[in-house]
Amino acid sequence: MAEEQERGRVRDPARRAAVRDTYDRIATHFAATRAYAWPEVEGFLETHAHVCTSDSSESAVGLDLGCGNCRHAELLTEHCAHVVGLDVSRGLLETGRERAREREFDVALCQGDASELPLATNSVALAVYVATLHHLPTQRARRASLDELARVLAADGRALVSAWSTAHDKFDETEGFDTTIEWTLPDGEPVDRFYHIYSPEEFETDLAESDLEVLEWELSSGNCYATVAGSETDPDEDA
């Protein structure tokens, strides 16, 4: 077992690098198809932003984890004094930089790993972690990223987490599985993208076994969504 775990540690960085390289390769075309914020993100911010930032409006930090072209980071700037956009892909970060320049909003961009966040503990008031968790290639990395999100959330902070799931009508499977989904570049070249497709039960389990507190969760448009808080927060306080 120890030998298998050690082999997993060796493979993990290579698999993460492959995901990064894929998105660097398709970044410009991919970002061009992602112009608008998700309604679920808009709803999350409308519900929770005033609670999370009311006591620290001049210093509140927002985090767009897996920010891509920063379409959700842009929304966070309406509620937080400082916004960080983190992504593993330098190519996608460049598209975020361009969007911020064109639309005149401020975001601090950082290339980094979702399972090792370069942020201080209890520093984030609001976080959006959507359409990214399912790209981490191992369960260990996915769970580590959830624990890291719990670590950086402030005592009264809130985050929205999402992942693609087997509830989508695209899939026939009922249990979580790894797969690749093809992206076609403008010249017709296909590029495979890694996904871990969660079952709703698996999504619940990973959250329950993380350091996060789950306040609520739902299925929407084939995705699992959860509103979460850091582990030191009483989930009943919002009732």
Count Cβ neighbours within 10 Å for each residue of 156-173 and write b for 16 or more, e otherwise.
Answer: bbbbbbbbbbbbeeeeee
Q: Could you list the pLDDT tens digit for every one of the 239 residues in the chain?
A: 333 343 344 457 788 889 989 999 999 999 999 989 999 999 999 999 876 666 555 689 999 999 999 999 999 999 999 999 999 999 999 999 999 999 999 999 999 999 999 999 999 999 999 999 999 999 999 999 999 999 999 989 999 999 999 999 999 999 999 999 999 999 999 999 999 999 999 999 999 999 999 999 999 999 999 999 987 544 444 43
8 Å CB contact between 62 and 76: yes
CA distances from 85 to 8, 111, 162, 186, 190 (A): 29, 9, 17, 27, 28
Report the C-alpha gap between 62 and 60 in whole angstroms: 7
Pick from 159, 156, 182: which is nearest to 52 by CA?
156
Q: List alpha helices for the chain, DSSP H.
A: 2-32, 39-53, 71-76, 90-103, 139-152, 200-208
The model carries a pTM of 0.89
